[in-house]
């Protein structure tokens, strides 16, 4: 998508130097567009853990490149294979909730595990990482195509009045490679000239909505209004939301959706007001091994400073200001799980399905366990 008038994706090999992976360091947005060079698996670990980059699809792609960079560092190691396995295990600990982190690492490690010199392993890792990037890009593009009719239908019903879409956190192109998950249908509709308007949840405590989603919609000319996370229910009560459209960090085989903390509250409000609640996700963020999301998905707890301080980037430096009592004990859970019963439909790269096992396996029959 566009940023400062140019076309960008979120991750790429540095032109002229394929030993360097480049990403947008999202901590500086919306204040500055900073490109970061990642030259080692340690850099990738830090970028994921400290949220220079975030979003399930992007975390997965970055981790894939992390394995590639680890192999570039593997020269001279006694047992590059063993060393790689250790690094891979460590990289998986960068963040706990997005399943893409684990699956993409496993996938690249599997791809390089065949016999071969270190050089061959490096080549294969890069190939696989680029393949993941390509697949994620294509998945989001298709999510946009499959989600578009949902917006078109509301637009027709409203006779061209703007379709009001509420989103939480950032499930935009910044969370993916391009297009985004939840934003893909929005961008597609906007491109087709359908009037859309997005209610952007601020998304405390890290403000991914006000900092990232607002920025990317603005850069791409989509109309939006920023709201506090507390506001969605009130808007729905007054008929000001036509649909909720969010992404997912991990979806279970029965359609429970782990996403940014607060998503569950919006799903409850949507249900209470008969507003459709759609979750857009590439199948890469489905965890085929988990059924009950509330009991079985590990929810990340982050540091309390995110609620106690405001980190402000000004005049080229970060400053930290207290916004609460520094002595306060804090619980800072990063995600919550929206039970499948509150989800109207999943929008995947293969089309729409209900948030329930049979419907999901109908779209992805190859994932069906032999004795279900």
Catalytic machinery residues: 249
Q: Which two tokens mark 315?
A: 């005049």
Of 6, 7, 159, 238, the one binding its own copies (CB under 8 A) is 238
- Residue 33 binding its own copies, by CB under 8 A: no
Report the residue number, 121 or 165, with the smaller CB distance to its own copies: 165
Q: Which two tokens mark 267?
A: 């799903």
Cβ(259)–Cβ(169) under 8 Å? yes
Query: d(Cα 271, Cα 269) in Å, to the nearest integer?
Result: 5
Annotate each residue in 149-188 with x if it binds its own copies (CB under 8 A) or - if it does not, as one string. ----------------------------------------
Q: Which residues of 135-168 are buried (b: 16+ CB within 10 A; e: fewer)?
A: bbbebbbbbbebbbebbbebbeeeeeeebbbbbb
What's the N-to-C CA distance of the chain in angstroms?
Answer: 41
- Residue 231 binding its own copies, by CB under 8 A: yes
Cβ(172)–Cβ(185) under 8 Å? no
Residue with tokens 């209004």: 225
Report the residue number, 117 or 328, with the smaller CB distance to its own copies: 328
| Count of C-beta atoms within a 10 Å radius of residue 234 | 13
| Count of C-beta atoms within a 10 Å radius of residue 295 | 9
What residues from 291 to 330 belong to the interface with its own copies (CB under 8 A)? 294, 299, 304, 307-308, 310, 312, 314, 319, 321-325, 327-330
| Count of C-beta atoms within a 10 Å radius of residue 106 | 14
Q: Closest separation between CB of residue 77 and its own copies, Å?
A: 42
- Residue 268 binding its own copies, by CB under 8 A: yes
Of 54, 137, 250, 260, the one binding its own copies (CB under 8 A) is 260
What residues from 185 to 214 belong to the interface with its own copies (CB under 8 A)? 199-200, 202-205, 207, 210-211, 214
Phi/psi at 20 (5° precision): -125, 130
Q: In residues, how long is the chain?
A: 372
- Residue 274 binding its own copies, by CB under 8 A: no
- Residue 262 binding its own copies, by CB under 8 A: yes
Closest of 29, 28, 31, 25 to residue 10, by C-alpha: 25
Query: d(Cα 268, Cα 107) in Å, to the nearest integer?
Result: 36
Residue with tokens 């480049």: 22
Of 162, 233, 276, 351, the one binding its own copies (CB under 8 A) is 233
- Residue 284 binding its own copies, by CB under 8 A: no
Number of residues lying near its own copies (CB under 8 A): 61
Annotate each residue in 66-85 with x if it binds its own copies (CB under 8 A) or - if it does not, as one string. --------------------
Closest of 139, 214, 204 to residue 174, by C-alpha: 214
Report the residue number, 103 or 338, with the smaller CB distance to its own copies: 338
Q: Closest separation between CB of residue 332 and its own copies, Å?
A: 7
Query: d(Cα 348, Cα 147) in Å, to the nearest integer?
Result: 9
- Residue 228 binding its own copies, by CB under 8 A: yes
Report the residue number, 193 or 321, with the smaller CB distance to its own copies: 321
Q: Which two tokens mark 89?
A: 């295990």
Report the residue number, 121 or 355, with the smaller CB distance to its own copies: 355
Task: Mark the segment that binds its own copies (CB under 8 A) among 16-24, 38-46, 122-130, 258-266.
Answer: 258-266
Binding site for its own copies (CB under 8 A): 30-31, 199-200, 202-205, 207, 210-211, 214-215, 218, 224-235, 237-238, 260-262, 264-266, 268-269, 272, 294, 299, 304, 307-308, 310, 312, 314, 319, 321-325, 327-333, 335-337
């Amino acid at each position: 998508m566009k940023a400062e008038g140019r076309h960008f994706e979120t991750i790429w090999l540095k032109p002229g130097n394929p030993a360097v992976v480049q990403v947008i360091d999202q901590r500086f947005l919306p204040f500055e567009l900073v490109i970061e060079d990642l030259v080692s698996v340690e850099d990738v670990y830090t970028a994921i853990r400290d949220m220079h980059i975030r979003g399930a699809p992007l975390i997965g792609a970055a981790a894939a490149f992390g394995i590639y960079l680890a192999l570039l560092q593997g020269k001279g190691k006694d047992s590059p294979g063993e060393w790689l396995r250790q690094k891979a295990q460590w990289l998986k600990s960068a963040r706990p909730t997005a399943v893409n982190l684990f699956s993409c690492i496993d996938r690249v490690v599997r791809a390089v595990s065949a016999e071969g010199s270190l050089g061959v392993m490096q080549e294969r890792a890069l190939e696989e990482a680029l393949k993941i990037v390509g697949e994620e890009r294509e998945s989001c593009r298709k999510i946009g195509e499959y989600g578009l009719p949902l917006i078109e239908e509301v637009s027709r019903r409203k006779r061209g009045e703007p379709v009001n879409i509420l989103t939480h956190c950032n499930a935009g192109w910044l969370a993916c490679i391009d297009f985004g998950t939840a934003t893909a249908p929005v961008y597609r509709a906007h491109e087709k000239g359908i009037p859309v308007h997005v209610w952007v949840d601020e998304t405390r405590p890290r403000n991914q909505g006000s900092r990232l989603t607002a920025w990317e919609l603005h850069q791409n000319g989509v109309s939006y209004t920023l709201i506090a996370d507390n506001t969605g229910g009130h808007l729905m009560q007054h008929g000001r939301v036509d649909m909720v459209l969010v992404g997912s960090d991990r979806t279970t085989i029965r359609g429970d959706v782990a996403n940014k903390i607060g998503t569950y509250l919006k799903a409850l409000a949507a249900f209470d007001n008969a507003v459709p609640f759609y979750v857009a996700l590439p199948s890469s963020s489905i965890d085929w091994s988990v059924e009950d999301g509330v009991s079985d998905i590990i929810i990340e707890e982050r540091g309390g400073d995110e609620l106690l301080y405001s980190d402000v980037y000004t005049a080229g430096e970060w400053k930290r200001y207290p916004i609460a009592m520094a002595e306060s004990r804090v619980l800072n859970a990063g995600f919550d799980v929206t039970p499948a019963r509150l989800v109207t439909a999943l929008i995947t790269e293969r089309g729409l399905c209900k948030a329930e096992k049979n419907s999901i396996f109908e779209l992805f029959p190859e994932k069906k366990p032999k004795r279900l």
